[in-house]
Amino acid sequence: MHQPTVTEAISLVGRDAAGQEIPEKMRADVRVLGSLLGQVLRETGSPGLFDDVERLRVATIEAYTKDSPEAIQRAIDVADSFSVERADEVARAFTVYFHLVNLAEEHQRVRVLQERDGRPEKENASDSVAAAFVRLSAEVGDETALTRLRNLRFHPVFTAHPTEARRRAVSSSIRRLAALLDEYDESRRGGADQRRAARRMLEEIDTLWRTAPLRAEKPEPTDEVRAIMSVFDETLYTAVPHVYRRVDDALQGPAAGSRAPVVQPFVRLGTWVGGDRDGNPFVTAAVTKKAAQIAAEHILLGLEATASRIARTLTLDEGTTPASDDVRALWRRLADADEDAARDAAKRSPNEPHRATLMLIARRIAATRTRNADLAYQDPAALLRDLRTIQFSLEKAGAARQAFGHLQQLIWQVETFGFHLAEIEVRQHSAVHAKVLAECEAGGPLSEQAEEVLEVFRTIAQLQRRYGPRAAGRYIVSFTRSAEDLLAVNRLARHAVGPSGTLPVIDVIPLFETFADLQAAPGILEEISADPQYAARLAENDRHVEVMLGYSDSSKDVGPVAATLALYDAQAKIASWAQDNDIELTLFHGRGGALGRGGGPANSAILAQPPHSVDGRFKVTEQGEVIFARYGEPAIAMRHIDQVAAAVLLASSPSIERRNSAAAEKYAETAAKMDAASRERFHSLVSADGFAPWFATVTPMEEIGQLALGSRPARRGLSVESLADLRAIPWVFAWTQARINLAGWFGLGTALDAVGDEELLRTAYQEWPLLRTMIDNVAMSLAKADLRLAERYLALGDRDDLAALVLDELRLTQDWVIRLSGGGELLSNKPVLQRAVKMRSPYVDALSLLQLRALRAIRSGDTSPGWQRLLLLSVSGVAAGLQNTG
């Protein structure tokens, strides 16, 4: 009897389980990649490996589709039959499979985006900036809409929080495979090109199989900086100006590129990588300086190469395109400073003044990178003046397409990235500031910690002098509890530079994280705004205030439902305070990739925010695997930026603000009931005696700390005796690994049950964006959970009461979510997402069964290296399969 191949089974479960067809081209990609993986396993795996992978695969598919106790037990028996060495190989095989399926899904998404080609008529009504502008113009008029477009700001901040389970070597291999899959696509008709592409993919998959999946040691902060740089080099440097161009093309039509753009650059990048020292002793002032140097090196190399490339193409003769007097004066000034280069440029560009001048500008950019004081630009503004001098001259000479073509994109790149690429933001805990300030004011010898804290301020000043004020200056205070916590920053800065030293320009940003802090936030802001020093800074920066809201700790503090409601309430009150005090407010959302840390689709979350809390500005952290998922591929990065920016532009439209305000008022009583009931339910679990050690037993929480994910420690103390000891990321990561995902949904079922009125809740789901977003996100979280496996993880803890509490809440929540969102099962209203989850689930189950086996052995006292390694391999594989961690 014919046994289906790996890829045949993939296709079958993807179609049958999800109830719909996988797109044919994606099916073909999976078939090719899967067959090549099968060949690698046969050729290089130990004898019988491929057959054992097939046995477990068939068993988990049967268990998933039949959903019977007997079927799941058969799958468990297969997993338990392997030796620890064989289980190690099988876990690696399934992990590589997930990397390949992730690649196929990404490839399909890119294929769809390329077919749409950014055309608004093929997008949803508010799905792109251009479409959002049209809708906004219909409500507020063209002039007001254009003003809002020009003031638009999307500000992603990359962080090094340890949530990327893949090694960088694995990520690099996958990127090479992506390029090879593109080549294979182009040679689908067969022949030598297709055979060559298939052979190279086989080689790369073999390399991926042979690459160690686990890091040998934790990365240092500078390693994390370089990992982020790969995203910039390969994607963001070109993707961001392409987004601007596509928006301008849509708004200006055929005239785009032949006249000045209506689009102003609306993306700014920030980074905590090398700047976030809260709880990370390895991030020092020296690391922060090095991080800035690495980033500056990358952006200046990029600008130099782009300017040189454009100069080579700007072969416009003086007779057809005469240079303006300003360009001639600029040439003389540049030539006087760089005589040898000027002679060479003149020789290579006879009668081509624009080309020759731009060649010398490229030389000055290079000098800025190498710190040649005679030639270096003082700041990005000086470079922009020179570029615009050339641009205006080209336009005046009738060469508008050259003025507003590639040269315009270079100008956009300078405006977006400056000489620093991404602003380094410093973050430190308020308790550290208080301790160091007390030392400084006591007048005695300073501790090593105090010296380090003060050195950070001197480093900020150096970076601002070297790369401009935008390079550094935002300073986040974790666990802000009072106005004094914010005032301490400037006092420390004064101690750092001395009584007569020049202070760095610093904007102090409070981070409100816990439930109590969120409630206290408006009062703290009111108090700090009355301080004379703070008021003086407000006058200097046009009364702009940034406030950061923490999604992670608030969710761990009171549960996801109460945290979501508290965050909405805090935003509404902070926005009202800003309106009353003529403040230009930017709310900085400290979200993670997982739902327990504020994750989920960003655009729907933005459109659910309170009135005036967005106002055309959106700043958000991007962490771990989310960075590479959203920004690692150019087409996907452009799509993500376009979608988020569209939502930011549309969020302040009168219709959206009226809708959200009316819904919040209408359902205030419902929200209050949900808040109280969910908090009580959450605390009944996490406040139970022995909860913290039980949690550490039923999940791989302790073992996650052994994964070399990032430089930052996973917990605040040596052991976990309470939730306060545990950081939010491993809290979420551990529940995800146990296939429970508790951090994303626990308490919602009880909250909805407390309201009880199903008709009211159905109406609220349609009318109240905050509730709809919450329920849709929980549906995704529950779809990735698995009750059968969750029961087995919870059984490791020998606490039937706590296990029952979790499972009862899971069933109740799932029941309510299905009833309110419609359809007979989770994600019925999101068939594409449902298909993706169902296609993956049986294969994730295989890794979960191997992980459970390892956990049982370790919990029984067997701590041999084989079990520890199997557990860590399975953690990495499950993370790849579920596509989110923390």
Cβ of 438: how many Cβ atoms within 10 Å?
11
CA distance 859 to 796: 8
Q: How many CA atoms lie within 13 A of 51 on its CB side?
A: 3
Taking alpha carbons only, the member of 150, 637, 169, 225 closest to residue 421 is 225
Q: What long-range pairs does 192-201 form, CB within 8 A, spacing at least 24? A: 198/32, 198/36, 201/32, 201/33, 201/36, 201/177
CA distance 387 to 365: 12
Give Cα separations from 438 to 308, 443, 477, 488, 490 (angstroms).
Answer: 53, 9, 17, 10, 14
Q: CB within 8 A of 516, min separation 6: which ones?
A: none
Q: CB within 8 A of 574, min separation 6: which ones?
A: 521, 522, 525, 547, 585, 587, 613
CA distance 491 to 360: 44
Q: What are phi and psi of 708, to 5 degrees?
A: -85, 65
Q: How many CA atoms lie within 13 A of 631 on its CB side?
A: 27
Torsion of CA 442, 447, 452, 455, to 10 degrees: 40
Q: Which region, left, alpha or beta, applies to residue 350 given φ > 0 means left and ψ of -120 to 50 means alpha?
A: beta
> Is-catalytic flag, 838?
no
**Which 3 state secondary structure label does DSSP give 159?**
strand
Cβ of 76: how many Cβ atoms within 10 Å?
19
Give the amino acid at 288. Answer: T
Give Cα separations from 216 to 94, 624, 706, 838, 858 (angstroms).
Answer: 21, 18, 10, 33, 21
> Is-catalytic flag, 218?
no
Per-residue burial over 796-816, b = 16 or more CB atoms within 10 Å of its CB, e = otherwise: bbebeebbebbeebbebbbeb
Chain mean position to CA 633: 13
Strand partners, 726: 715
Q: How many residues does the chain have?
A: 886
CA distance 337 to 364: 10
The answer to whether the CB of 813 falls within 8 A of the CB of 774 is no
Concatenated DSSP letters of 65-99: HH--HHHHHHHHHHHHHS-HHHHHHHHHHHHHHHH
How do strand 472-478 and strand 423-429 relate by DSSP bridges?
parallel
The answer to whether the CB of 300 falls within 8 A of the CB of 369 is yes
Strand partners, 623: 159
CA distance 670 to 664: 10
Q: Is 654 exposed, middle or buried (0-12, 13-18, 19+ CB in 10 A)?
A: exposed
- The alpha carbons of the chain give a radius of gyration, in whole angstroms, of 28
> Which of 420, 556, 619, 640 is the catalytic position?
556
CA distance 393 to 326: 8
CA distance 490 to 340: 47
Chain mean position to CA 844: 23
> Which of 161, 289, 420, 640 is the catalytic position?
161
> Which residues are known to be catalytic?
161, 556
